[in-house]
Structure formats: structure tokens, C-alpha cells
Amino acid sequence: MLMDAADVPVLLVVFNRPDMVRRLIDALREVKPRRIFVAADGPRLRVPDDVQRCAEARAAISDIDWRCEVELQFQEANLGCKKGPETAITWFLAQVPQGIILEDDCIPAAEFFPFCAELLERYERDDQVMMIGGHNPIVDRLDPGPSYVFSRSSPTWGWATWRRAWRHYDPDLQAWTSPAVRQKLRAEMPAVEFRMARRRFDLVRAGRIDAWDFAWTLAMLSRNGLSVIPAGNMIDNVGFGPAATHTRNPRAPDAGVPLDPVRFPLDHPEARVPSAKFDSALLAHRFPLQRRILTLLPVGLAARIRAIGYRFVRGSDRGGHARCPAPDPDDGHVAPCDRSATRG
């Protein structure tokens, strides 16, 4: 018997954006999940209005006005963009065997919930399938076919997973210290993708990128894990903009992707293998020619070129991150540094 969409536990990861929390709850109201977990990071001491904005974001949880069980994890101190989400997800999956994870800027289509319900059950005991994604930025490049594909990518803008998969999460990226793992990834990944991944894994381990999702990517890649990617986009990421910490470029390739939910009943793929066509198209989408050229340059020169491009995109350099590595104008992960921007 298929699980009811409303029975899938949902984790909301929130911070200091009350308007987005309300918008997310409005989306949940269409499905009315019966069990909701809310993890809220604490305010940053050096950001004057964080205390008030964090309090407003937490108060917005009271907009949940249907009958359900709500469990809360409110942090007093700020854990940041890496430790905050990973702590929240670990807390969530310690209490439930599987569930949906939504950060406050990831607004799901109603169809995402039955999609996850069906596939969480279908692949519950398949250790190679480690997650179900909801965001697909290249819908127009897919041929008509099944309702979803398998991929080597790990999109976490609205996703679902199992406790049995999350137990492989490696917050310190210890696997990256293994020569065997490095050689495996070098042999399996396109050169430009490996070079970019290597740079990011190194920066995370050095504490210069404050983000949790690269550790999850490494956990999946090192175990040959697969993600489920819907044939249509089911997550609207509304967090792009100059106030965000990570996704600051509103003209990035993954920004503004319209919702195009899959239809039911689902048409399942015949084989459980990664789609080379999808992964190749996704790589081309996220790494256009100019970015591929940058990966061939010395890190310092590439960073200066990125900084120039980023200032051009913003129209002016309003600062606040001068001591951070220059953000990539396409996806913009940056170091924690002064943390003066709103997290996103």
C-alpha cells in the first residue's frame, strides 16, 4: 500500500526570513503534513537585526493551522550554514526513518509530496538510491520518457532521504583524505567537474566554505550513490538575491526555474542506472564555457576574474565579504568570514 503524502514527515530548516517561512507554510497547507519538524538556527551576534528577524521567523511557525504534530529545535547560538543544517537533518532522521527536507527558500509544488511518498517507499531498501530531489533546472533538455531519472548529482533544494542513507554523511569530509577515493572520483568524473569538486572539497576542509551540502555530495560520490530527479521541476528556489549568503546572483543558471510538476501515475524507469544524458546536460548547464576555462586557470587568477564578474552582475560592490574567497557568480558559495549577509 502506498504511503499517504500527508504521512511523510517534513523537516523545515529556517533562520531569519519570516516572509519565506510563511510562504513555505502556505505551500505545505495544500498537503497538510501530519508531522512537521522545525529546526531554527540562532541569531548572529554581529548582525544587529538578527535577534528580531530570527524571532519573527520562529513566530511564523504559528501559521501552521491544521491538525498536525509539530516538533521544534531552536538554537540559541548561530551554528552557521554548515553545522546548522547538518545538525537539523541529523536530529530529524534520528526520530523518523525517512522524510522530506525543505529549507525556507525552497517552495515545493503540491505534487512533490506524493512523488516523495511513492519513491521513499519504492526505494526504501535500495542502498544505492540515497536521495530524491525535487529541483530540475534542465527540464527542457530532457526527452519525453519516464517520470524521473537517476543521476549522480545531489540536488538538495527540496529533497527527501532515508536514515539509512544519511548515516553515511561525513561532516568533516574524511573520505577526501583517502588517495583511493580521490583516484576513484578522478577516474569517474569529467575533468572539469572533478577539478571544481576538488577545489570545493579542499575549501570546505580548510574551513573557507561554510556549507554542508558538499559533504553530502562526497558521501554520495564515494559510495556510487544515486539521486532520483523528476522529469519536471517541483521546487521553486526563491532565495536568490544580493541578501543571500550563497545564492546571491539572481541571474544564475538555476535561478527562476518555473514549476513543471510530474504527472501521476508515475512512469518508472526500467533500469536503475544514472542517466548519462541528464548528467551531461546538467554539467553543461552549470559549467558553461567561460566557467570551464576558469577551472583551467590558477586559483588566484580565477578568483580575481570571478570577483570582477560578480561586481559587474551586482552593479556595484557593496562589500561585506572582502576577506572571503570571491564567490562564483553562478552559484556563489562563499566562506563564513563576517557572516554579514542573510543566510540563503
In which residue are the cell numbers 590558477 written? Answer: 298
How would you list the strands of the sheet with 148-151, edge to edge? 69-74, 35-40, 10-14, 98-103, 159-162, 129-133, 226-230, 148-151
Going by pLDDT thresholds of 50, 70 and 90, the confidence category of residue 2 is confident
Does residue 271 sit within a domain?
yes
DSSP state of 106: E
Query: What pTM value is reported for the model?
Result: 0.84
Does residue 332 sit within a domain?
no
Higher-scoring residue by pLDDT: 318, 279 = 279
pLDDT at 283: 87
pLDDT at 316: 36
Does residue 329 sit within a domain?
no
Per-residue model confidence as pLDDT tens digits over 227-267: 999 999 999 999 754 444 444 445 556 667 889 999 999 99
Grid cell, residue 303, equals 578568483
Per-residue model confidence as pLDDT tens digits over 66-121: 999 999 999 999 999 999 999 999 999 999 999 999 999 999 999 999 999 999 99
Backbone angles phi, psi at 176, to 5 degrees: -70, -15
Grid cell, residue 95, equals 526520530
Confirm if 233 and 257 have CB atoms less than 8 A apart.
Answer: yes
Backbone angles phi, psi at 237, to 5 degrees: -85, 110
Domain that holds residue 159: 5-314
Confirm if 344 and 245 have CB atoms less than 8 A apart.
Answer: yes
pLDDT at 266: 97
pLDDT at 230: 97
Query: Which residues have C-beta within 8 Å of that of residue 180, sequence separation ≥ 6?
Result: none
Does residue 328 sit within a domain?
no
In which residue are the cell numbers 514549476 written? Answer: 259
Does residue 118 sit within a domain?
yes
Grid cell, residue 237, equals 528556489
Q: Do β-strands 69-74 and 98-103 pair in parallel, antiparallel, or remain unpaired?
A: unpaired
> In this structure, what CATH number is given to the domain that contains residue 267?
3.90.550.10
258 forms beta bridges with none
Which range, of 42-56, 192-206, 230-244, averages the lowest pLDDT?
230-244
Percent of the residues in the chain that have a pLDDT greater than 90, as a whole number: 69
Going by pLDDT thresholds of 50, 70 and 90, the confidence category of residue 200 is very high
Does residue 323 sit within a domain?
no
Residue 55 burial (CB < 10 Å; 0-12/13-18/19+)? Answer: middle
The count of structural domains within the chain is 1
Residue in 99, 135, 107 with CA at minimum distance from that of residue 9: 99
328 by DSSP, 3-state: which?
coil
pLDDT at 334: 36
Does residue 158 sit within a domain?
yes
Per-residue model confidence as pLDDT tens digits over 297-334: 565 665 665 555 544 434 433 333 333 333 343 343 43
Does residue 324 sit within a domain?
no
